[in-house]
Amino acid sequence: MTFRRVLAAQPITAAAVLGFALTLGVWLVAGYFFTHRISAARTRADTVTERYMAAQEQLSNVNSQILLGSVYIRDALMDAASLDHDARPIVEDTFNAVGSIMDRYIPVLDSADERDRIGRLHIEIDEFKRRMIAVLEKASAGSAQEARGLLRTQVVPKRETVIRMSEEVRALNRQRFVRQQTEIAAIYADSQRWFWSILTLAMAASFGIALVAVRHAGRLEHRLQQQAVSDARNAAELQRLSAKLITTQEEDRRTLARELHDEVGQAVTAIKVELAVAQRTILAAGLPGELLNSPRAIADGTLGTIRDLSHLLRPPLLDDLGLVQAIQLYVETFNRRHAIVVALDVATMTTRLPASVETAVYRIVQEALTNVARHARAQSARVSLAHGGQALTLVIEDDGTGFELSELNRIGLGIVGMRERAFQLHGTFSIHSNHSRGTRIVVMLPTAGRTAAAETGVPDSSLPPLAEAHE
């Protein structure tokens, strides 16, 4: 389902989801940029700190090795016997260690000034090594006094130069490190200001999105309310039209039944009288009277058909004797016409009911039994009537095949008519049916406190909808 379909189906939900998604997007973007910036600053700070600590440690080791080499030379000059065997290898190892340390040295910020000082420190260390080897060679040649002179005049000053340059590099690194930390602190402060700016912008954007979403949801809700009012008005109008149609149908049926009985029935009766007179005339003339037996039989059948149609349209018993006698006559006629045994159970029906109720119940029974004959393939059925003083309960059940909800359209028009009649009288209508237990229809109609709207056939739109159940 596309977003457009969701928006059309659930407009308020879609507006809320869209507002939430936009707000979440703003916060995610703000959080991503802030996190990215802070992470970059932290990575840079960690890299500089690691390089600074490693560089300072390496330069400290260089100074230590330089001082240690000087101590070896001094001790060697004081003990001439060890010059040839011990001093020179120790000095070589010391300066090899210094060279290894300098080879692993990584500039803190890799600036031109730092690289230049490191290069000069390499040169000074090499020069210091050369002079120490020269002192050892002088001492080995037997000129101890000259070797000590070289130690005082060349080795010691060069050692001081190497240590001073090493300290200068350390001081430069320290200065650059402090400056770098200051810059990183500024980056953090700037990131914090940027974060608060983005936070303010995100909050403003979120508020704007929420405001737009609320206004849009409000408009949609107002539109839905208007649509609901319009739908309720249309439903009430349809109900009034349906009630008026049912009332008009009953009036038309009553008029048609009366016309059939009074006009057509009397005309056919007159035809029968004329046929009887004609038959007597024929007999008096000595002719066979059987010539008119067939027309008289047709007239009798036509009268029976007219009487049945008149009873179907509007049974006179319903107006003259009441609901129970009308239904009883209809059930007896139904049993004669169909191979279905219909039983009628009546309880506490001692008084006449309002005309609208009696008409509705009779038509519901008529429609329900017609459906049983057409669709149920039942062997028997039962119609039960019970009047409790406040309401009338009608139950129609059969032992037929029943139906499922998906099959309701096949017989749906009759059911709609029954529902409309019950609804018109503020009643309830329910169907229980499946393929193994037949169908059961239950109708409850109020009979106490009948309103003028119900008696005139206009339904009350404030009533709850009918209950309908399918099992």
Confidence (pLDDT) at 451: 39
Instruction: Report domain extents, the chain.
Output: 3-221, 318-471
Confidence (pLDDT) at 85: 52
Alpha-carbon span 128 to 135, nearest angstrom: 11
Confidence (pLDDT) at 449: 58
Q: Which CATH class is domain 318-471?
A: alpha beta
**pTM, two decimal places:** 0.47
Alpha-carbon span 443 to 43, nearest angstrom: 80
Confidence (pLDDT) at 179: 78
Confidence (pLDDT) at 144: 63
The alpha helices in 260-354, defined as continuous H runs, are 265-284, 293-313, 316-320, 323-337
Beta bridge partners of 346: 385
Contact 376, 413 (CB under 8 A): no
> CA triplet 423, 424, 426: central angle to 5 degrees?
60
Burial of 213 (0-12, 13-18, 19+ CB in 10 A): buried
**Tokens representing 383?**
């119609």
Q: Which residue, 137, 135, 140, is CA-closest to 158? A: 135
The total of other beta-carbon atoms located within 10 Å of residue 272's CB is: 17
Alpha-carbon span 66 to 87, nearest angstrom: 14
Alpha-carbon span 362 to 397, nearest angstrom: 15
For the domain with range 3-221, which CATH number is right: 3.40.470.10, 1.20.120.1730, 1.10.3720.10, 3.40.50.360? Answer: 1.20.120.1730
- Phi/psi class of residue 352: alpha, beta or left (left: φ > 0; alpha: ψ in -120 to 50)? beta
pLDDT 10s digit of each residue in the chain, 471 long? 454 544 444 555 665 677 677 777 777 777 777 777 777 777 877 787 887 788 778 778 877 777 777 777 666 666 654 554 556 677 777 777 877 777 777 777 667 777 787 788 778 787 777 777 777 777 666 666 666 676 777 677 777 877 887 777 777 778 777 877 787 778 777 877 877 877 787 778 777 777 877 787 788 788 888 888 888 888 777 777 766 776 777 677 777 766 776 677 777 787 877 777 787 788 777 777 676 778 878 878 887 777 777 666 667 767 777 888 888 888 988 898 888 899 999 887 778 888 888 888 988 998 899 888 888 888 999 999 988 778 899 999 998 888 776 666 555 667 888 888 888 888 999 888 877 778 899 999 998 754 333 443 434 433 333 334 343
Contact 383, 365 (CB under 8 A): yes
Task: Kindly report the length of the chain.
Answer: 471
- Listing DSSP states for 171-203 in one string gives HHHHHHHHHHHHHHHHHHHHHHHHHHHHHHHHH
Going 435 to 437 to 439 to 444, the CA torsion angle's sign is negative
Going 452 to 412 to 256 to 340, the CA torsion angle's sign is negative
3-state secondary structure of 393: strand
Q: Which residue, 415, 401, 436, is CA-closest to 368? A: 415
Alpha-carbon span 458 to 243, nearest angstrom: 6
Confidence (pLDDT) at 245: 74
